Amino acid sequence: MKIGTTEFKKGQPVLYIDSAKTSTIEGAATTVYATGGKGNTRLIAWDCLSLAHERQ
């Protein structure tokens, strides 16, 4: 198999990674409301999103 100008033999690794680190992004949404006082209707809402989780 030829990739670019490099020829690879059958069974020869094409990619080798000696060290790797993974990261993920996990989102948890929370909605916060402002009301016109205790027991009154909601006036405005904010959607808050917390992110980031890194693993090594």
Distance of CA 7 to the CA centre of its chain: 36
pLDDT in tens, 1-33: 888 888 888 888 888 788 888 777 777 778 888
Residue-range domain boundaries for the chain: 22-56
With 0.75 as the threshold, say if the pTM is over it.
no
Distance of CA 52 to the CA centre of its chain: 7
Beta strands 6-7 and 22-24 are: unpaired
Please report the pLDDT score of residue 56 as a whole number: 46
What type of residue sits at position 8? F
14 contacts 2 by C-beta, under 8 angstroms:
no
